[in-house]
Structure formats: structure tokens, C-alpha cells
Structure 1
Amino acid sequence: MTVIGIDPHKSSLTAAALAADGTVRATRRFAVTKGTGPAVSAWASQFEDILFAVEGAKGMGRGIAQYLLTQGYEVLDVPPTLSMKARVLHTGGGRKTDAADARAVGWAAQHHEGLQPAVVEDHTEILDLLTHARDALKSERTRALNRLHDLLRNLIPGGAPRGLTLTRARTALRGMRASTAIEQCRRDLARDLVGEVARLEKLMDDYERRIAEELQATGTSLMELQGISTILAGKILGEVGDVRRFRSAGHFASYTGAAPLDTSSGDNLRQRLNPGGNRRLNSVLHIMAVCQIQHEGFGRKYYLKKIQEGKTPREARRALKRRLSNVIYRTMLKDLAAAPPAPS
């Protein structure tokens, strides 16, 4: 089998064809244009039994990976950290070029059995785009409120109260009289920021409504779980995609960062917190766990049980997150089993 490793960039990508023994058969650089996909396919046609390996097939390499999938090729998604380690191990140093990176992507595909195949984008990609866009709007709204709070601190004696909202800001500005040109400037800027916050909140509501519509089309039952809102369900489906790509509930928990890492050495058996994994999904699990701890249900019972066993509140919450990861995994598998077959 000929493995073709691809190192993508914004304006170019480099492909390296590797023989079965890892030797480089050919290398070529392509400019990223409308004809990049057909050019890569035509260049690869000189080889037989082709397997493509794209670094970051869900990120920078999304375009070329999706094109190759539509042409019927098998494509593996190689994480950038894995290809970097493969390059260092093979070269024995930090020498880095696009051709060396492409070769490292191919080497990682040849020797790593756990790589996930890239798949054609489906309906969950819409949820991923909408939830990321809403999170970006939420960050902009927070920054605008912080700037507004700073202006009100200089306009109102004693400053604006904490937990500033759009309604409170409008109330504070209503009837305010500026005694100097400087205060008038601050007041005008504050009014502009109020309008900006109102615009962002309207966009956030529109995105939330669209997310709810897309979720209804998927037929998911995630929102029936305690602590899962419309936005959180959209994040889960958008980040996970096809849950069947995970071999087990433990594999899924490792992906979410809910499974602890084994750091045992000799007779010293211990585990520590996993700082890796998908941090968006880990945040969803955290919110879900906090919600269940605060309300009656199986989650709170499990949390209190861990507290009685001598766990600290933080350790008990982490144990609950691990269990909730299993619940989400089983729920998504059940939804797939209950879904009607896709039309041919």
C-alpha cells in the first residue's frame, strides 16, 4: 500500500508518497486553489492501492480531506501532535520543513493503529458551526459588558453594581445628565455599547433558535438528560459527530477528558486528572454535573455517596463527570439504533 501523507497550510499543501517500508517515493507541493483537489488526485493516480493521511482533517486539512472522500479515497485523520512526534523520532532532531512534515504524517499513518478515518460531513457539522458562532458572540458580549461597566464606574457615584445586564445598564443611563464634555463623551460611548450588547444578544437568540430547529431534525434525546440544554446538546452532537467511531464508553470518556490518567510507577499506584481531551465536551460535562448536584436525582445521590466514601467535593464531582460521560455515550448509541435508516 502507498500511503500519501499531506501537510496542509492556508496557501499550500505538500504531499509525500511513502512505500510500505516507509521510503519516500515522491513528494510534491500544491498551491491551494479551486483546482487543488483534482491536481492531488491526478498526481496520486500514478500509485496503486492508495491510502491518504491528512494532518488535521477536521481543521486546516478539512478541504482536501472532504474532496478526497467524495472521490472514493480512504482518508485517515492524523493529529498534528502525533505527526510532530513521528517527525522528531525519525529525524532525531528539530529539523522541520513541509516535506518532512508530510513524510511524518505518512509515517504516523503507517505505524499508528488507532487513527480515526475521516468521514464526509453530515448534519452535525451545522450544529458545530452554529454553536461555535454563538460562543464567539457570547465572548464579544462579555467584552462589551466589561467595557460598559468600566464607563459606568466613572459616570455613576459608587460605580455600577456587579452582574451588569442590558436592562440594568439602560436603567442606569436613563435620565443621566452630563455636566462636562468628558462625561458626555463617556455617556455617548456607554449608549453605543448598550446598542452593541442588544445587537449581540439578538443574534445569540437567533442562533439558539436555529440550533433548536437543527436538533429537532436530528431526533436526539440528549435534552431529556438532566442538565443538558439546547446549546449543550448542540455542542455534544457537533463535537462528537458519529459516536460509533469510539470503540467503547471508556474511549469516549478519554476523548472528553473525563477519564483519569494512570501515572503508576512500580508499587506506587496512582491516577491524576486528565488535562487533555476535548475541552468543550469537558465543559459540558462540568455544567451537567453541577446542575445534577444541585437538584435531586441519581446524579446527586451518586455525588453524596462519593462524599461519604471520603472523597473531596472536587473528587466526587470528577467521579460524577466520568459516569455522566457513560450516560451520554449510551444515549447517543440508543438514538442511532432508534433512528430510521437513511434513504439510499
Structure 2
Amino acid sequence: MVMIGTDSHKKTHTVVALDRVGRKLGELTVRANTDGHVNLLRWAAGFGEVTFALEDCRHLTRRLEGDLLRAGQRVMRVPTRLMADARRGARAPGKSDPIDAEAVALAALRHADLPVAELDGPAREIKLLSDYRRDLVMQRTRACCQLRWHLHELDPDLEVRSRSLRNDNTTRRVADALEGVDGIVARLARDLLARIVELNTLVKALEKELAALVAAQAPSLLAIPGVGVLSAAVLIGETAGVHRFRDAAAYARFTGTAPVPVWSGSSAGKVRLNRGGNRQSNYALHMIAVTQARGIGPGREYLERQSRRGKDRTAAFRLLRRRLSDTVFQALRADQRHNVTDLPTAA
């Protein structure tokens, strides 16, 4: 088997082919378009059975990955951290496109259990909609903060409660207060209010669309106490196929809930908080834990049990997040089996 590593840019892809022991067989640079991808496939055909290793920066490799998969090729995704480690340990110093492509291929040879890419499906649709909603919410938050300062300048006695600008009643009340007020500050306030109303409509429409998609794809995940549509959408989109993970422990490392060992000699068993992993998934698990701690589901009882064992609240929450990671993993697996069995069979 030949491993072909790629270093991708907006205009070009540079690829390097290595044999199973890491010896360089060839390199090529092609344009980052369909014609270039066809040339790449013709070149790769000369090596027989190949596997493509792409650095996991999907904003640059999405189209290449799709063309390779549609051509029947096997594609692996190499995390940037592993590529950087392989480049630092290489014999050739410096940094160039061929050096980076070779480092990607070396990392793929050293780590046989890396995620295997597949064609886009409902999980990516959910991720794109979830990410778009998050961006719109950030825009709305910024517009709300700006509007509040303008309103305070115009009328310090006008009370607008926190987070109330997402409600239609509040936006209408503010619009009535601004009606007939002259000046540049009032004009800017009206423009910001109109933008907030528009963003409210877009966010609500996206949440409705996400609710339908998530309910169809992950009923078992939604059945977990404390898991709402938005947290489920984040977990589905960031996981990108639970079959990529061999067990719950591997998934916990992905979500950043698996503790990091920090012991040596007689201090065995010590661990620290894992600040790595996918932070969006980690945040979603944290919000589920917060919800359960309020009495929805078994979280509160679990925290109290850990407290009786001498754990402080922070340590107990870490344990609860890990427990929830395992629960989410099992639910995603159940949903995957459900979705596979629901696929239509050929006549």
C-alpha cells in the first residue's frame, strides 16, 4: 500500500507518495480544481493501491476530499497536531509544501486508527446550520450591546431586561419609544433594532429546521435528560459520524472529557483537566451537565454522591461530563444503527 499525503492551499494541492516504510516515491503539485484532481488520480493510479491522507482542515480540502471519495478512493483525515509532530521529527529541516505533505503521509502511516472520511450526509447539514445559527447569535449579541448603549444615551429610564431583545414584545416597545426621536443616535438605534428583529427571525427559522433534522437523526440522543435540540445539533455535527471512534474512551478523548495523567514514580493515579479535545462538544456536554444538576435527570443525585465521597463541585462536574460523554456515545451508536436499518433495501 502507498500512502499519499497532501498539503492543501486555496490554489494548489501538493502531494507526496510514500511506501509502507516511509520511503518517498514521488511528488506532484496540481491545481485545486476538478481538472487538477483528475490529474492527481491519474498520477496516483501508477502506484496501484493507495490511500490518501489529508490534513484535517476541511475548509481547504472539502472539494478534494469529495472528488476522491466519489472516485472510490480511501481518504484519511490527519489532525494538524500529528502532522506538526511528524514534521518536527523528520530528517529534512525547514518548511515547504512537499515537506508538509510528506509529514501528513508519515503521520497517517504511524497512526492506523485515524478517522476515515466519507461523503457528506445529514450530520454535515446539521453542523452547517448549527454553525450558521451560532454566528447569527453572536451578531445579534453584538447588535444588542450597541443598541443598549444608544438607548441609555437617549433615555436612561427606558428599562430593557437582559436577553429580552430576542422577544417581539420588547422590540415593539423599543420601536415605539424610538418613534419620532430625531438625531443620529436615534437613527442608529432604529437601524440596530431592525437588524436585531431580522436576526431573531433567522435564528428562529434555523432552530425550527434543526429541530426537524435532529429529531429524525438522533431520537436516542434527544431522549437523554438535559439534551435539547441545540446541544444535540452541536454533538451530531462535531462528532461527524460516531463510527469513527472505536469505543467510549476514544470518544471521551475527542470531547475533552478524558482526564490527562500527570504522575511519576510514587504519585501514581494523579490526573488533571483535559483542555484539549473538541471544545464545542465539551461545552455542549457541560451545558447538559448544568441542566441535569438543576434536577432534570440523574445529574443532581450523581453530584451529591460524589460530594459525599469528598469531591469538590468542580471535580464532580468533570466526572459528570465524562459520564455524559459515555452516555452520548452509546446514544449516537444506537441512532446510527437505527438510521442504517431504516435505509431502503435494493429490490
- TM normalised by structure 2 equals 0.92
Task: Indicate the RMSD between aligned Cα atoms, in angstroms.
Answer: 2.0
Q: Could you tell me which residue of structure 1 aligns to residue 87 of structure 2?
A: 87
Q: Could you tell me which residue of structure 2 aligns to residue 329 of structure 1?
A: 329
Per the TM alignment, residue 153 of structure 1 is displaced from its structure 2 partner at its CA by 2.1
- Which runs of 5 or more structure 1 residues have no equivalent in the other structure? none
Contact 1:152 1:160 in 2 (8 A): no
Contact 1:6 1:106 in 2 (8 A): yes
Q: Judging changes above 3 Å, is the alpha-carbon distance between structure 1 residues 126 and 296 closer, same or farther for their aligned structure 2 residues? A: closer
Residues 1-344 of structure 1 aligned to structure 2 (within 5 Å): 1-56=1-56, 58-91=58-91, 93=93, 95-157=94-156, 161=160, 163-166=162-165, 167-168=169-170, 170-172=172-174, 174-176=176-178, 184-218=183-217, 220-269=219-268, 270-339=270-339, 340-343=341-344, 344=346
Aligned partners of 1:271, 1:295: CA distance in 2, in Å?
Answer: 29
Q: Judging changes above 3 Å, is the alpha-carbon distance between structure 1 residues 173 and 155 closer, same or farther for their aligned structure 2 residues? A: farther
Contact 2:226 2:296 in 1 (8 A): no
1:175-202 Cα deviation digits (max 9, x unpaired) = 45888x6xx2101110110110010010
Q: Judging changes above 3 Å, is the alpha-carbon distance between structure 1 residues 172 and 242 closer, same or farther for their aligned structure 2 residues? A: closer
Aligned partners of 2:297, 2:83: CA distance in 1, in Å?
Answer: 45
- TM normalised by structure 1 equals 0.93
Aligned partners of 1:338, 1:173: CA distance in 2, in Å?
Answer: 49
1:272-306 Cα deviation digits (max 9, x unpaired) = 00001111111110110000001153111001111
Aligned partners of 1:175, 1:190: CA distance in 2, in Å?
Answer: 11
The alignment covers a number of residue pairs equal to 340
Contact 1:56 1:62 in 2 (8 A): no
Aligned partners of 1:47, 1:177: CA distance in 2, in Å?
Answer: 72
Contact 2:218 2:332 in 1 (8 A): no
Aligned partners of 1:19, 1:201: CA distance in 2, in Å?
Answer: 54
Q: Judging changes above 3 Å, is the alpha-carbon distance between structure 1 residues 164 and 334 closer, same or farther for their aligned structure 2 residues? A: closer
Aligned partners of 1:99, 1:235: CA distance in 2, in Å?
Answer: 35
- Which runs of 5 or more structure 2 residues have no equivalent in the other structure? none
Aligned partners of 1:315, 1:124: CA distance in 2, in Å?
Answer: 32
Any idea what SS the aligned residue of 2:3 has?
strand
Contact 2:255 2:282 in 1 (8 A): yes
Per the TM alignment, residue 98 of structure 1 is displaced from its structure 2 partner at its CA by 0.6
Contact 1:149 1:160 in 2 (8 A): no
Aligned partners of 2:218, 2:312: CA distance in 1, in Å?
Answer: 38
